Amino acid sequence: MGLKSDSLIAYNILEKRIINSGLCTQCGACEAACPVGALHIEGEKVKRTYDCSKDMDLCPICYEICPHSEALLLRSLSFVADAPVKNEALGYYRKIVLVQAVDPKIRELSHGGGVVTSLLKFGIENKVFDSAIVSQGELENPAKPKPSVALVPDDILSAVGSKFFPSSVAKAYGSAVYGYGKTNIAFVGVPCHVLALRKLEAWQHKISGNLKITIGLFCFGTLSLSALLEYIKKKYNVEPSDIKQIRLSSKLVFQTEKGEIKLPLSEVSDHILPSCRKCTDFTSELADISVGGAYPLKDWSTVIIRTKAGEDFFYKAVENGIINTWVIEEEPTVIERVMVAAMQKRTAGLKKAKEMEETSGYLPALLLRETDALANIKIGDIMAKNVKTLTQNTTVHQFLDLVARNHHIGYPLVNENNEPVGWVTLEEAASVDKNKRNETLVSQIARRKLVTAYPDETALDAFKRMSEIETGRVLVLDRADPKKLLGVVTKTDLMHILTKAVNNR
Ligand SMILES: Cc1cc2nc3c(=O)[nH]c(=O)nc-3n(C[C@H](O)[C@H](O)[C@H](O)COP(=O)(O)OP(=O)(O)OC[C@H]3O[C@@H](n4cnc5c(N)ncnc54)[C@H](O)[C@@H]3O)c2cc1C
Ligand code: SF4
Ligand code: SF4
Ligand code: SF4
C-alpha cells in the first residue's frame, strides 16, 4: 500500500509558509479555488474546516495559486508579456496616460481621478461585463473594505474610494461564479489580488475562464487591523470593543465613546502587513489596466494600459465621453514619482525577501527561480545595443527630462573618451533637491561601481552578477577592448527571456 505524503497536500505548505508565517494578505483566492470547499477566511486568518488529506492523495492548488508562493510566477507574467514596452520600473505596457472621470461627483468621492469607478460603471451599463468585484466600505466602519459582487451601477458607485485594510476580493470573485453564476466578470484589486487571479488563469482553474478584465491599483501596502487595534489599546488605553467607527480622511480616525483618536498616516504605516514589506510590485504589473495616483495633480489618476483587452475597453470608455485623458509626458513630475516609488518598493522588497530566505530557507514570491533557460543564452544575443549614454556635462535636470520622455530609468555615464565610468538612475537623481537640479551634474551622483559582462558570457552569468550586488543591470563590454561599451542587459530583459521560454514549453 502506498503511503500518503503530507508534502503532496498543498495546504500543509500553505499553512507553514504563508498562513503561520504571517504572510497571508487575506485575498481569499485559496478559499475560492479549493475543490472541496475546505478553506474559509475567518477574521484575519485562513482556516481549514476539515482535513482534506483524509480523502485526497495529492492536491497542489491552494499553495500554487496563493500570490505569496513562488509557484506559477512566470506563467502569470505571460498574460501581459506581449506588450510592446518593457520597463524596469513599471513592467510591460502599451501606453501610460493621465486620466480623470468626466463626472465631477465621482471625482469628488474618490481618492484620485475616479477612473476605476467610471470605467466599471460604463462597463456594467454597456454590458461589457455582467458584474464587477469591488470593495465597498462596511456600514459601521467605512474605512474597512467589504468585498462585494457589483451587479448594477449603484453597487459600483458605493465602492468609490480606497480602503487601506485587506479585502478578500478573490473570495468575492468565487462567489460571483458559484453564487451568482456570472460569466463575464471585471475584477479590481491591489497587485497581490491581481496576481492571485492571474495564477488561477495560469493554473487553468475552472473559475478563471469567467474573468473578463482586471483593473489593478497601485499599492504601497495594506494595514493590519489587529496590529492597529493593539497599538491603540496600548497607547490610548482604548479597548477594540469601544471603537464605534473607523474612517479615513487626511488621518485615520477612530471614533470611540469618549471621543476621536486621529492617527497621522506616518504613524499608521508602521502597521502594514508583513507581506507588504517584501512585495516588489507597486503598479499592478499583471493587470490589464493599472490605476494609481498622479501626485502632485489633484483629481487625476495615472493609468497604465498593459494588454490589448485593456486597451480596447479603455478607449471605448474614452470614445463614449466617460473619462478625459491627458499626455503624461507633459507632466514629468508625475511619471518621475511613479517610477521612483516603483523602484524604491522593488529595492526594499527584494532586500526583505532575501533576508527572509536567509532566516526561513524559503524564498518568497517574485525572485527569479527558473534559471535553466538563462544558461543557454549568450549575452551578446539579448543585450540592447546603441545604448544612449550620458556625458560628464549632463545635468540632473537634463537626465530627468530624458527619463520622462523615454521612460528608461537608468543610463551609463561615459568619459571624454566614450568609456563607461558610472551608472545614473532615477533613484539617485530624484533625491537631488529640486532647486539644485539645473546646476548638479550627473557625474556628481553616479554610481561608480560598475557591474560588467562580456557578450560571450551567458544570461545566467549576468543574472548572478546582478543579484550579488542587488542591481538590476549589467554593462556589456568588448572582450578585445574592455573599455568599449557594446550594450546593456537589464533584469527585465531576463524576465522577458524566461517568459518566452515558459510560453514555448
Ligand atoms: C491598499 C491600497 C494602497 C494604495 N496605495 C497607493 C499608493 O501608494 N500610491 C498610489 O498612487 N496609489 C495607491 N493606491 C491606489 C489609489 O488609492 C486609488 O485606488 C487609485 O489611484 C484609483 O483611483 P480612482 O480614483 O480611479 O479609484 P476609484 O474610482 O475611487 O475606485 C477605487 C476602487 O478601488 C477598490 N478598492 C478600494 N479599496 C480596496 C482594497 N483595499 N482592496 C481592493 N480594492 C479596493 C474599490 O472597489 C473601487 O472600485 C492604493 C489603493 C489601495 C486600495
Ligand atoms: S483540498 Fe483544498 S485545502 Fe486541501 S490542499 Fe487542496 S486546495 Fe488546499
Ligand atoms: S491565497 Fe490569499 S487568502 Fe489564501 S493564504 Fe494566500 S494570501 Fe492568504
Ligand atoms: S503591498 Fe503588495 S502584498 Fe501588500 S497589499 Fe499591496 S500588493 Fe499586496
Q: Is residue 445 part of a domain?
A: yes
Pocket lining: 174 vs ligand 3, CB cutoff 6 Å: no
Pocket lining: 14 vs ligand 3, CB cutoff 6 Å: yes
How much distance in Å is there from the Cα of 63 to the middle of ligand 3?
8
Range of the domain at 236: 225-271
> Quick one: 79 and 173 in the same domain?
yes
Q: What is the DSSP string of 420-470?
A: EEEEEEHHHHHTS-GGGTTT-BHHHH-B----EE-TTSBHHHHHHHHHHTT
Q: Ligand 2 atom 6: the closest Cα is on which residue?
A: 59
Q: What is the DSSP string of 326-377?
A: EEGGG-HHHHHHHHHHHHHHHHHHHHHHHHHHHHHS---SSS----HHHHT-
| C-alpha to C-alpha distance for 405 and 403, rounded to whole angstroms | 5
Q: Which atom of ligand 4 is nearest to the CA of 166?
A: 5
Q: Ligand 1 atom 23: the closest Cα is on which residue?
A: 112
> Quick one: 150 and 264 in the same domain?
no
Give the binding-site residues of ligand 4, using a 6 Å CB cut-off: 25, 190-192, 219, 221-222, 273, 275-276, 279
Ligand nearest to the CA of 170: 3
Q: Ligand 2 atom 4: the closest Cα is on which residue?
A: 52
Pocket lining: 123 vs ligand 1, CB cutoff 6 Å: no
> Quick one: 331 and 447 in the same domain?
no
What number of residues does the chain have? 505
> Quick one: 303 and 183 in the same domain?
yes
Ligand nearest to the CA of 61: 2
Q: Which residues contact 399 (CB under 8 A, 6 or more apart)?
A: 390, 411, 424, 429, 442
> Quick one: 282 and 392 in the same domain?
no
Q: Is the dihedral of CA 321, 323, 326, 327 positive or negative?
A: negative
Cell of 46: 485562513
Cell of 320: 463614449
Single-letter residue type at 247: R
> Quick one: 296 and 188 in the same domain?
yes
How much distance in Å is there from the Cα of 214 to the middle of ligand 2?
25
Strands (E), 202-296: 211-217, 243-248, 251-256, 259-264, 289-293
* CATH number reported for the structural domain that contains residue 440 in this entry: 3.10.580.10
Instruction: Name the 3-class secondary structure at 20.
Output: coil
> For the whole model, what pTM was predicted?
0.84
* CATH number reported for the structural domain that contains residue 118 in this entry: 3.40.640
What share of residues in the chain are helix, strand, coil (percent, to 5)? 40, 25, 35
Q: Is residue 185 part of a domain?
A: yes
Q: Which residues contact 346 (CB under 8 A, 6 or more apart)?
A: 89, 280, 282
Q: Do residues 25 and 192 lie in contact, with contact meaning Cβ atoms separated by under 8 Å?
A: yes
Q: Is residue 358 part of a domain?
A: no
Per-residue pLDDT of the chain (505 residues; tens, 9 = 90+): 333 445 577 899 899 889 998 899 999 999 999 999 999 999 889 999 989 988 777 788 999 999 998 788 877 888 887 888 888 789 889 999 999 999 999 999 887 899 999 999 999 999 999 999 999 988 877 778 999 999 999 999 999 998 889 999 999 999 999 999 999 999 999 999 999 999 999 889 999 999 999 999 999 999 998 888 889 889 988 888 888 878 776 788 888 888 899 998 888 888 999 999 989 899 999 999 999 999 899 899 999 999 999 999 999 999 999 999 999 989 989 999 999 999 888 888 877 877 776 676 655 554 444 556 677 789 999 899 989 999 999 999 999 888 887 777 789 999 999 999 999 988 788 888 989 999 999 999 998 888 899 999 998 888 778 766 656 789 999 999 999 999 999 877 777 776 665 555 5
Pocket test of ligand 2: the residue of 6, 54, 61 to mutate, having most ligand atoms within 8 Å of its CB, is 61
Pocket lining: 136 vs ligand 1, CB cutoff 6 Å: no
| C-alpha to C-alpha distance for 8 and 207, rounded to whole angstroms | 23
Number of domains in the chain: 3
| C-alpha to C-alpha distance for 239 and 230, rounded to whole angstroms | 9
How much distance in Å is there from the Cα of 37 to the middle of ligand 2?
8
Pocket test of ligand 4: the residue of 66, 135, 219 to mutate, having most ligand atoms within 8 Å of its CB, is 219
Cell of 310: 485593456
> Quick one: 169 and 244 in the same domain?
no
